[in-house]
Amino acid sequence: MSPAGATPAPALALADAIRSGERRAVEVVEASLAAIAERDGELHCFNLVLADQARARAAEVDRMVAAGEDPGPLAGVPVALKDNLCTRGIDTTCSSRILAGWRPPYDATVVTRLARAGAVVVGKTNMDEFAMGSSTETSATGPTRNPHDTSRVPGGSSGGSAAAVAAGFAPLALGSDTGGSIRQPAALCGVVGMKPTYGTVSRYGLVAFASSLDQIGPFATTVADAAGTFDVIGGHDPADSTSLDRPTPRVLSVLDEGIAGLTVGVVRELLDGADADVVARIRAAAEVCAAAGARVEEVSVPEVALGLSAYYLIAPAEASSNLARYDGVRYGLRVEAPDAASMNVATRTAGFGAEVKRRIMLGTYALSAGYYDAYYGQALRVRTRIIEGFERAYRTCDVLLGPTSPTTAFPLGERLDDPLAMYLSDVCTIPSNLAGHPAISVPFGTGGDGLPVGAQLLAPALGESVLFRAAAVLEAGAPPAGDPGAVDPGAGGAVTGEGAR
């Protein structure tokens, strides 16, 4: 049972039924829009619902099927888009006052690829302003609520996308992940969320936060649906200078290959500081990997403990550069003033929220004369150390395992006035962004409070195939829905050994 009622059909199964004529895209999309209309007033997953466009697109998909044409692997599947993905002629606001009403003249590459695959966009989802946050509470349009408990946050910054999938509004959504913004809300909302290798999914049309860290990825209710979506949106894009000009791993076709004979490393440092019931779930996930024939051992990557400090210098520094374009002149909000300099200040003062201002100031300071080497330069050296630490771990391990979030979903408002506590929400996810490696969060039971826990798998660059194989194993062995999470938090150390014991 999903938090919104009946569990929606998996995306790939829906697409197959629509392509075969068994179901009509129009009826599937109407069901999605009805679910949104029924409950989104309570949850606020969407900044904009595209009902008319979605109905017209669904009718076109049905016309293609009737004519004997193949609309694509995601034919008629409702998809929600994070509101920092450009959509031609459709508001793209990044949940910020400074971009209210801005309509891009082009589509992001991922939006084009979804359309070619037959998907139907049903709306633009709420997010932390300019993707800066871990709870979707910094949005200028108000917070999103967790479908499992509306007094709790859905995570962030892609909280609207995660909550939309968890609530059954759409079987698929896209988000962006700069320091965990797909995986952390996926864990808190109990859905699958995946961050690809940096450069495997085009960033063209993604409104930039931190350009060396941002990646677009899928949310889904199943690992197979996330794999199918990654296969659709991945691949080289000449419009993106950071796009890898090499074959992107295909993942849907390898899901059944299992992990027998592989080595899974449980990262000791990712368990440090996590709640006891979360740690217990990760140790149970390790047992599932062992039962599937993998060797599971505890590994140490001490460099990941430096990730948070390095990230909160690198990301704000890049943000301070990227957000300089919002000056009241070229597009977006303009607050009139006697001269250009005053107009610029007034526009940014009115247009940016407190968290965005905090990060711009932090980043500008880190890049300023006299401080660059001590802060930004040092953070880049730490980033290199983190990459080297992962390289050592992958010499003996095929994939790594740890929690996605150190806690389950926390109450709305609890961390808003404590930035450090909020930033610590991403302590388990940030290292993969700094390294540029792929990672995925898979729902794995609940904590003692009955809220979802996510198990995070990490793989080396371009290791998406093995990552999804391991994710499929965890999904198959996850506790059943409704499991109260009765796992002994004091269960022993990480599993070490060959296969099931």
- DSSP line for 173-238: EEEEESSSTTHHHHHHHTSEEEEPPTTSB--TTBPPSSTTT-EEEEEESSHHHHHHHHHHHBS--T
- Specify whether 20 is catalytic: no
Classify 498 as helix, strand or coil: strand
Which tokens go with 279?
């740690």
* Pairwise CA distance, residues 164 & 144, whole Å: 10
* Pairwise CA distance, residues 277 & 288, whole Å: 17
Q: Are 441 and 408 in contact (CB under 8 A)?
A: no
Closest CA relative to residue 264, chosen from 495, 437, 19 = 495
Closest CA relative to residue 119, chosen from 231, 43, 208, 38 = 231
* Pairwise CA distance, residues 171 & 174, whole Å: 11
Q: Are 138 and 355 in contact (CB under 8 A)?
A: yes
Q: Which of 95, 157, 161, 405 is catalytic?
A: 157
Q: Taking the chain, what is the end-to-end CA distance rounded to the nearest angstrom? A: 33
Burial class (CB in 10 A: 0-12, 13-18, 19+), 105: exposed
- Specify whether 124 is catalytic: no
- Bond from prior residue into 157 cis (ω within 30 degrees of 0): yes
Q: Give the H or E element holding residue 361.
A: helix 354-367
Closest CA relative to residue 301, chosen from 384, 392, 378 = 392
- Specify whether 357 is catalytic: no
* Pairwise CA distance, residues 318 & 261, whole Å: 41
- The residue behind tokens 């201002």 is 357
Q: Which of 181, 202, 243, 465 is catalytic?
A: 181
* Pairwise CA distance, residues 57 & 79, whole Å: 12
Burial class (CB in 10 A: 0-12, 13-18, 19+), 420: exposed
Catalytic sites, residue numbers? 82, 157, 181
